[in-house]
Amino acid sequence: MANHDFVLRNSGLIEHNDKLSEKSKKRLRKSKAENTLRAYEADWLDFYDWCTHLGFQALPAEPETIVNYMNDLADNAKANTVSRRLSAISENHKAGGYQDDNPCRSGLVRNALDAIKREKGTIQRGKAPLLFEDLRDIASCFDTADIAGIRDKAIILTGFMGAFRRSELVKINVEDLAFTREGVIVLVHQSKGDQEGQGEYVAIPYNTDPGVCAVTALKHWLEQARLNSGPLFRPLNKYKKVRDRRLSDKSVALIVKKYAGLAGLNAEDFAGHSLRRGFATSAAQHDVDERAIMQQTRHKSEKMVRRYIEQGNLFKNNALNKMF
């Protein structure tokens, strides 16, 4: 097959099905988000290259081939990476028509994954959360006499207060904002947790401290950038003029790192996800209940939110505090 046997983008189950209309095929091709497809493709190509180098068939693969690949990968990768690659291999086999005899469902493969997880552990060490107290320190670092500083302040405060993923943050359009007496309501058209694009609303109230008020920062950015429609957050050219295109999600990570460093923190510990994670952790530290945190973060599962809550309460509920 062409394209290194990666069939998720061009599944024969869809393309060669004469019973499907062209309209149906077009919609089915969008069943997975582009970011998901890119991630699956990168993981599949690693497996494909390994098979090609050693002379094995990648699609369909034998369970033993997958097990040997997993163990080679595990020499230098985390258990979560191995698990993610296995998901990509499995999804590509399903798209290739190997639904019932998918080698990834073999007991041999599942046992191999369990053994790797047991040996290496599955703890995830993500980027550090940017806490609410950190925002107060960062607030003095924004140069609000400069258009870049005005934009960056709006990005960081909105990202934190709205618990946005960086991909969600850069997809916001001016038309998605509804300012009210209480604050601003942001319409999120589609996100990782809303793959069907039903849309969700995120409310950000005014803050009594204007230095860390996302609503005030947003209004200031809209006024200074003279934006009435289109992408909310945009890059600047070398003359500090606002460009007519959307800011990249990688730029959000760089902006967070920049201001974390200016505030005296280790910039390498932070990234775009530090804003969303920081909100959840800070909310837990301030005794916000689980349901209210999930309403703002839009998590569908309690599992991840509870990890943030546990992290936020490491010192708060520490037995040593009572002893001291």
Catalytic (active-site) positions: 165, 192, 273, 276, 299, 308
Alpha carbons 324 and 316: distance in angstroms, whole number: 13
Strand order in the sheet with 177-179: 177-179, 183-188, 200-205
Peptide bond into 63 cis (omega under 30): no
A 10 A CB-CB count for 194 gives 15
Residue from 219, 239, 211 nearest 151 by CA: 219
Neighbour-count burial for 133-171, b at 16+ CB within 10 Å, e otherwise: ebbeebbebbeeeebeebbbbbbbbbbbbbbbbbbbbbb
Residue from 196, 195, 33, 5 nearest 97 by CA: 5
H or E segment to which residue 185 belongs:
strand 183-188
Give CA torsion, residues 245, 251, 252, 256, to 10 deg. Answer: -150
Alpha carbons 187 and 199: distance in angstroms, whole number: 7
